[in-house]
Amino acid sequence: MAKVTIDGIEVEVADGTTILNAARQIGGDVVPPAMCYYSSLKETGGKCRVCLVKVTQGSAKDPRPMPKLVASCRTPVMDGMVVQNISSAEVLEARKGVVEFLLLNHPLDCPICDQAGECDLQNLAYEHGAAKTRYEEERRTFEKIDIGDKIKLHMTRCILCYRCTFVADQLTNNRVHGVLNRGDASEISTYIEKAVDNDFSGNMIDVCPVGALTDKTFRFKSRVWFTKPLDAHRDCPTCSGKVVLWTKGEEVLRVSARKDQYGEVKEFICNECRYDHKNMKDWVVEGPRHIERNSVISQNHYEKIDLQKLKLEVDRQLTFQKGKQLPQSNTSQA
């Protein structure tokens, strides 16, 4: 086990745990954002740099600070390590710079993008972005491509996080993933097209942090905040069958996998559940999906308040403000 202190809060974690996952064990505001790391996919991380943190003490044995900011999703903790995330002005400034880089080529088309309201880059830009861009060159653009009959690739919005290629690599049969070319000519390879027949290819849509891969069966049907998300399940022979139904009245507009508080799917779902069961009668509805209050999706969203959970969250925030140890968070997000 290793003891690590992040933003003044100490936590004990298993050896080999990354700084990001140690921060997630603390929970709350000390957790760095992540655009490319995805805990349920192997080898992810190290691409986007939004999770940069400052290591002010390397370990108990060697207390020297690390000379540069490090990617927390790829850096394992050492016993006695001291890390700064939101308590470091240098980290916040660097993150602002990373967001500026991510937005160099990303179009600011949120008003017409299907991912609006669920886009990690949109949220990150609100928190860390600058109001103006200094970029004067022409942004790179691509034609929209159909990846099979259910997924639309809008490469112009892609931030090259590689998550979808890991889905293609790890959840489908063949090694068909890839990013073609280098530098600003990089693009998600059409080899992914060859993975679309696989039962689990639809998960590329859920792992995409921006609106580059969208569900053609849902595109332009509704803004996500006008829908009512419900937890539901069915007896599926291929996957867990545990999904979120995005509904309007009795109509099921979209079926997606369930995401945790970090926007990650823990149980991937099959394409049959995702595309072929858009009828409420096919599902056992468990109840409204829990949505964080700060999400635009929470508009018009009512659910029974768990007072115990609410009290725990308020206690967490108050304890955090006092700079003491935080109890574990139990909250989850759609």
By CB under 6 A, is residue 268 in contact with ligand FES?
no
Nearest residue to 328 (alpha-carbon basis) of 26, 30, 24? 26
Stretch that binds ligand FES, among 41-49, 129-137, 179-187, 204-212 (CB under 6 A): 41-49
CB of 209 to ligand SF4, least distance (A): 6
Q: Which stretch binds ligand FES (CB under 6 A): 31-39, 222-230, 271-279, 314-322?
A: 31-39
Q: Is 48 in the site for ligand SF4 (CB under 6 A)?
A: no
Q: Which does 8 bind (CB under 5 to 8 A by kind): ligand SF4, ligand FES, none?
A: none
CB of 211 to ligand SF4, least distance (A): 8
| 51 lines the binding site for ligand FES (CB under 6 A) | yes
Q: Between 36 and 253, name the residue whose CB sits nearer to ligand FES.
A: 36
* Dihedral pair phi/psi, residue 296, rounded to 5°: -65, -20
Binding site partner of 162, from ligand FES, ligand SF4, none, Cβ cut-off 5-8 A by kind: ligand SF4
Q: Is the dihedral of CA 204, 271, 240, 176 positive or negative?
A: negative
**Single residue of 28, 115, 129, 162 touching ligand SF4 by CB under 6 A:** 162
x/- letters, 181..220, toward ligand SF4 (CB under 6 A)? -------x------------------xxxx-xx-------
If the CB atoms of residues 35 and 196 are measured against ligand FES, the closer one turns out to be: 35
Q: Please report whether residue 71 would count as binding ligand FES according to CB under 6 A.
A: yes
DSSP letters spanning 218-271:
TTTT--GGGSEEEEEE---SSS--EEEEEEETTEEEEEEE-B-TTS-BSS---H
Q: Which two tokens stand for residue 6?
A: 């992040």
Q: How many residues comprise the chain?
A: 334
Nearest to 264 by CA among 140, 144, 167: 167
Helix 120-128 crosses helix 89-102 at what angle (to 10 degrees)?
130
Question: CB 291: neighbour CB atoms within 10 A?
Answer: 18
CA separation for the pair 165, 16 (Å, rounded): 25
> Residue 36 CB, nearest distance to ligand SF4 (Å)?
7
Interface residue with ligand FES, options 22, 23, 41, 47 (CB under 6 A): 47
Contact 13, 1 (CB under 8 A): yes
- Applying CB under 6 A, the site for ligand SF4 has a residue count of 14
DSSP state, residue 18: B
- Tell me how far apart the alpha carbons of residues 328 and 334 are, in angstroms, rounded to a whole number: 19
Q: Which residues pair with 76 in a beta bridge?
A: 18
| 58 belongs to the binding site for ligand FES (CB under 6 A) | no
Q: φ and ψ at 179, to 5 degrees? A: -115, 120
252 in contact with ligand FES (CB under 6 A): no
In this structure, which amino acid lies at residue 279?
N
Q: Which CB sits closer to ligand SF4, 82 or 113?
A: 113
Among ligand FES, ligand SF4, none, partner that 47 touches (CB below 5 to 8 angstroms by kind): ligand FES
Minimum distance from CB of 270 to ligand SF4 (Å)? 19
Site residues for ligand SF4 per CB under 6 A? 158-164, 188, 207-210, 212-213
